[in-house]
């Protein structure tokens, strides 16, 4: 599970079709969702690793999608905690915080509530339960 979040092959298996990762604090943690878009509009560009505790915790900055330009340059904070339940089961706790309170920020919160809960985490689960990759 750790490698899914921290290696290029792992990220490509459930999160994004391309990425730039350097697993050190301050290193890039960039996810590229739209490879045809111009630089700056491909996805999680400019995001950085904030903290790591292998193989239990990864923290990184995150930004809003290009369709929310008013908050895109304001980075939020994601923590992924991996808690081993058994040899076949890992609990993934994902916390995304650092939000403002304006209407535009609420749009970002709503966007990521759907993205994490309805797309990313289900794809991660599918990756490990069926082996199918996106």
In the chain, which stretches have pLDDT less than 50?
none
Q: Is the pTM of this model over 0.85?
A: yes
Give me the domain span that covers residue 101. 2-129
- Total domain count, the chain: 1
Cβ atoms of residues 15 and 120 within 8 Å: yes
The pLDDT value given to residue 131 = 72
Q: Is 86 inside a domain boundary?
A: yes
Q: Is 88 inside a domain boundary?
A: yes
- The CATH number of the domain holding residue 16 is 3.30.530.20
Q: Is 134 inside a domain boundary?
A: no
């Amino acid at each position: 599970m750790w490698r899914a979040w921290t290696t290029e092959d792992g990220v490509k298996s459930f999160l994004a079709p391309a990425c730039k990762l350097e697993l050190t604090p301050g290193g890039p943690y960039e996810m590229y969702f739209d490879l045809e878009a111009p630089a700056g509009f491909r996805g999680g560009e400019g995001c950085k690793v904030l903290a790591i505790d292998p193989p239990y915790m990864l923290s990184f900055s995150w930004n809003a999608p290009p369709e929310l330009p008013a908050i895109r340059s304001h980075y939020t904070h994601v923590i992924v905690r991996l808690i081993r339940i058994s040899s076949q089961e890992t609990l993934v706790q994902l916390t995304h915080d650092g939000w403002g309170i304006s209407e535009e920020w609420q749009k970002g919160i709503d966007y990521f509530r759907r993205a994490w809960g309805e797309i990313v985490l289900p794809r991660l689960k599918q990756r490990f339960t069926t082996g199918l990759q996106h």
